[in-house]
C-alpha cells in the first residue's frame, strides 16, 4: 500500500502548521518523519488519519485520491496510527482497549474470552507481561504506551503511523517493537516512524523526511546518505549543540536524602542510597524495574514498610505529598506531566504559583494575581520560558516549555530536593539540550536532583552517579565517567546479570566505568 502526501497545507489562528508538504510512503519501507516540536509532524499525522482536514493539498492511497472525514475513514482505508496523545479508556481493560473498534460478539454479547485471546496475540509481540484483564488506569505510562502500539498493530493496516512510539518505553521494549516493524516491513507494510531519538531513526529507517517550520527541509532521503549532523542541521537550521555539564566532584558534599534498607508495599526491598547536596543522582532501569514507584514512596505516595528515610541527616516518616513539599522541601515532576504535573487549561501564572498559594494568600485566604506575578515572572525569565505572557494557557505551550513550567513551580516552592521522572519525553533535540542545561544549573544553585530516565544517553550526559534497578531492587551503583560506550556496557551488564554477574564480567570493578 502506497501513501502519497501532495502539497498539504494547514493553518490555525495565527499559526501556519504545514506549508506545501509533499512526500511518499512506499510499501515495504520504514520512513522516518523528523523535526522539532512545532515543525508540523503531529499535525501531518492527524491529517493522514482523518483527525484534521487539510486547508489545501490531497492524500492518495495507491494513486487514488482519499478524503478522510474521521479516523474511521482512515482505518477503513487501511491506515492505523499511534498518536502522541494517548487514546485509551481508563476504566476499560487492556483487551477491551486493544479490540475496541471491533469487539467480537457471540449471540449478540461481547465474547470476552475471544477479546482477551486476540488482544494477547498483539500484546505478546512487545510485552507478554501485561495482563489483558487489567484496567488501563492501573498501568504505568510505559505500559499504556505499549497497549497503544498493540491496538494499532491489531488493525493489521497497510499503512502504520507511529508518532513517538518509544517516548516512554525503554530499550528492551523498543527492541521488541523494532523486531515487529521489520517483520511488517518484510510483509510489504508501509510504516511512518516519528521520533526525536536519532539513534532509533538511523537503526530502523530506510528513508527520512525532515520538517522545519511546517515546510519540507529534506524529502525522502535515503537514511544511509544522511549523517546525524545533516539530519540535525535540516531540523534546526544549524549544527547540534550538546549540553556541557563539566567535571563535578561532589564526594565531600553533605547528604540531603538517604534510604537505608527501605522496603515498600509494592515490593521494593533493601533499598539503600545517598543523594548529596547539588548532585544529580541517576536512577536507571527497564520498564517495571520499580523506579517511579520508589520515587513515589519517597514522597509519601506509596507506603514504606521497613527501613529508614533520612532528610538532611534526620529520620523522617513522610505520609503525603503535601508533607514532602511543606516539611521536607521535596518536589516531584511526574513522567506524565500533562495528566499529573500541570493544569493544562490554566495559565502559566497559576500553574507555577500553585505550590506557594498557601504562603502568599491574604488573611482571608485569597490569592492575588499581583502576588503570583511577583513569584512567577522572575522564574519565567530565569528559565527562558517561551510564552506570549504568563496568562497563556499551559496546554498551548510546547512540550519543552511545559516541562519548564513543571520545574518552575517547584523552584517557586523553594524545594531543596527535586525528583524528576523522564524529563525530556517527547521533547525535540534543541529543547532537550536546554532542559539538560537547566537541570545542571539548578543543581549549581544547590538543588539536589534524583533523575529517573529511560534515555541512556540522557542519563550518561547528566548524572554524577547512576543507580541501576531491576525487579524493585538496586543492583548496581556507578560513578559516571560520561563516556557513553563503557558506561552503557556497564549499566546493561548490571541489568542483565545483576551486581555479582556484572562484577565477574568487568574484572576491574566499578573503576572500569572511568576507562
| pLDDT tens track for 68-107 | 999 999 999 999 998 877 789 999 999 999 998 788 888 8
d(CA 229, CA 434): 18
pTM, two decimal places: 0.65
pLDDT digits (tens, 9 = 90+) for 97-111: 999 878 888 888 889
> Taking the mean position of all CA atoms in its chain, how far away is CA 417?
21
Q: Output the CA–CA distances (angstroms, integers) from residue 440 to 248, 322, 461, in the order listed.
A: 11, 26, 10
353's enclosing H/E stretch is: helix 348-353
- Percent of residues in the chain assigned helix, strand, coil, to nearest 5: 40, 25, 35
pLDDT of residue 239: 60
Q: Is 175 helix (H, G, I), strand (E, B) or coil?
A: helix
147's enclosing H/E stretch is: helix 141-154
d(CA 170, CA 287): 6
Beta 330-333 vs 280-284: how paired, if at all?
unpaired
261's enclosing H/E stretch is: strand 255-264
**Partners of 259 in the β-ladder:** 273, 309
pLDDT of residue 30: 96
Size of the chain in residues: 515
pLDDT of residue 263: 96
- Identify the segments of the chain with pLDDT beneath 70: 170, 238-242, 287, 337-339, 497-515
212 Cβ contact list (under 8 Å, min separation 6):
35, 36, 39, 234, 235, 236, 237
User: 209 and 39 in contact (C-beta within 8 Å)?
Assistant: no
**Nearest one of 284, 190, 188, 260 to 494, comparing CA atoms:** 284
Cell numbers describing residue 500: 555479582
Give me the torsion for CA of 85, 395, 283, 493, rounded to 10°: 30
**Nearest one of 243, 242, 252 to 279, comparing CA atoms:** 252
**Partners of 65 in the β-ladder:** 60
**Nearest one of 212, 162, 214, 158 to 7, comparing CA atoms:** 214
pLDDT of residue 286: 74
d(CA 275, CA 258): 6
128 Cβ contact list (under 8 Å, min separation 6):
none
426 Cβ contact list (under 8 Å, min separation 6):
37, 84, 164, 167, 196, 399
**Nearest one of 504, 501, 477 to 491, comparing CA atoms:** 477
pLDDT of residue 419: 95
Beta 105-106 vs 56-61: how paired, if at all?
unpaired
* Domain annotation for the chain: domains and CATH numbers: 3-236 (3.40.50.300), 255-514 (3.40.50.300)
222's enclosing H/E stretch is: strand 215-222
pLDDT of residue 79: 94
pLDDT of residue 207: 95
pLDDT of residue 195: 87
CA-based R_g, the chain, Å: 24
Q: How is the beta sheet containing 3-12 ordered, strand by strand?
A: 15-25, 3-12, 56-61, 64-66
Cell numbers describing residue 257: 536524602
Which residue reads 537541570 in cell numbers? 439
User: 7 and 21 in contact (C-beta within 8 Å)?
Assistant: yes
pLDDT of residue 505: 41
pLDDT digits (tens, 9 = 90+) for 355-412: 888 777 777 777 788 888 888 998 888 888 888 889 999 888 877 788 889 888 888 8
pLDDT of residue 328: 95
**Partners of 12 in the β-ladder:** 15
d(CA 23, CA 211): 11
pLDDT of residue 268: 95
486's enclosing H/E stretch is: helix 484-505
Cell numbers describing residue 442: 539548578
Amino acid at each position: 500500500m502506497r501513501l502519497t502526501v501532495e502539497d498539504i497545507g494547514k493553518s490555525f489562528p495565527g499559526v501556519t502548521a504545514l506549508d506545501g508538504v509533499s512526500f511518499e510512503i512506499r510499501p515495504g519501507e520504514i520512513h522516518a518523519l523528523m523535526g522539532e516540536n512545532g515543525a508540523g509532524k503531529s499535525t501531518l499525522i492527524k491529517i493522514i488519519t482523518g483527525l484534521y482536514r487539510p486547508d489545501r493539498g490531497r492524500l492518495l492511497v495507491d494513486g487514488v485520491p482519499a478524503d478522510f472525514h474521521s479516523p474511521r475513514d482512515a482505518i477503513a482505508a487501511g491506515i492505523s496510527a499511534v498518536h502522541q496523545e494517548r487514546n485509551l479508556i481508563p476504566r476499560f481493560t487492556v483487551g477491551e482497549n486493544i479490540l475496541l473498534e471491533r469487539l467480537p460478539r457471540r449471540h449478540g454479547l461481547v465474547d470476552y474470552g475471544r477479546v482477551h485471546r486476540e488482544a494477547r496475540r498483539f500484546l505478546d509481540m512487545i510485552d507478554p507481561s501485561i495482563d489483558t484483564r487489567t484496567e488501563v488506569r492501573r498501568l504505568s505510562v510505559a505500559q499504556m504506551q505499549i497497549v497503544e502500539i498493540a491496538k494499532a498493530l491489531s488493525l493489521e493496516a497497510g499503512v502504520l503511523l507511529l508518532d513517538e512510539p518509544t517516548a516512554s518505553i525503554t530499550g528492551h521494549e523498543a527492541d521488541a517493537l523494532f523486531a515487529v516493524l521489520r517483520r511488517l516491513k518484510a510483509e510489504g507494510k508501509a510504516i511512518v516512524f516519528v521520533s526525536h531519538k536519532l539513534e532509533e531513526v538511523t537503526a530502523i529507517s530506510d528513508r527520512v523526511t525532515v520538517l522545519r517550520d511546517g515546510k519540507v527541509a529534506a524529502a525522502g532521503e535515503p537514511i544511509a546518505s544522511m549523517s546525524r549532523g545533516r539530519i540535525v542541521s535540516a531540523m534546526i537550521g544549524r549544527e547540534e549543540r550538546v549540553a556541557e555539564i563539566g567535571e563535578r566532584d561532589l564526594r565531600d558534599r553533605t547528604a540531603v536524602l538517604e534510604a537505608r534498607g527501605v522496603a515498600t508495599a509494592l515490593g521494593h526491598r533493601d533499598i539503600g542510597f545517598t543523594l548529596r547536596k547539588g548532585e544529580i543522582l541517576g536512577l536507571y532501569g527497564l520498564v517495571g524495574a520499580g523506579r517511579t514507584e520508589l520515587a513515589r514512596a519517597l514522597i509519601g505516595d506509596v507506603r514504606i514498610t521497613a527501613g529508614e528515610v533520612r532528610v538532611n541527616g534526620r529520620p523522617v516518616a513522610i505520609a503525603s505529598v503535601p508533607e514532602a513539599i511543606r516539611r521536607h522541601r521535596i518536589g516531584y515532576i511526574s513522567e506524565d506531566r500533562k495528566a499529573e504535573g500541570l493544569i493544562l487549561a490554566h495559565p502559566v501564572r497559576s500553574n507555577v504559583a500553585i505550590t506557594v498559594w498557601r504562603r502568599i494568600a491574604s488573611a482571608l485566604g485569597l490569592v492575588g494575581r499581583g502576588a503570583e506575578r511577583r513569584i512567577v515572572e522572575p522564574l519565567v525569565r530565569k528559565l527562558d520560558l517561551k510564552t506570549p505572557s504568563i496568562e497563556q494557557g499551559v496546554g498551548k505551550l510546547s512540550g519543552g516549555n511545559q516541562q519548564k513550567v513543571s520545574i518552575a513551580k517547584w523552584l517557586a516552592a523553594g524545594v531543596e530536593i527535586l525528583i524528576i521522572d523522564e524529563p525530556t519525553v517527547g521533547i525535540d533535540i534543541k529543547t532537550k539540550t536546554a532542559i539538560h542545561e537547566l537541570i545542571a544549573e539548578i543543581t549549581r544553585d544547590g538543588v539536589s536532583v534524583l533523575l529517573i530516565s529511560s534515555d541512556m544517553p540522557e542519563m550518561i550526559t547528566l548524572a554524577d552517579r547512576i543507580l541501576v534497578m531491576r525487579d524493585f531492587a538496586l543492583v548496581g551503583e556507578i560513578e559516571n565517567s560520561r563516556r557513553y560506550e563503557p558506561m552503557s556496557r556497564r549499566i546493561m551488564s548490571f541489568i542483565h546479570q545483576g551486581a555479582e554477574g556484572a562484577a565477574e564480567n568487568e574484572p576491574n570493578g566499578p573503576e572500569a566505568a572511568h576507562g
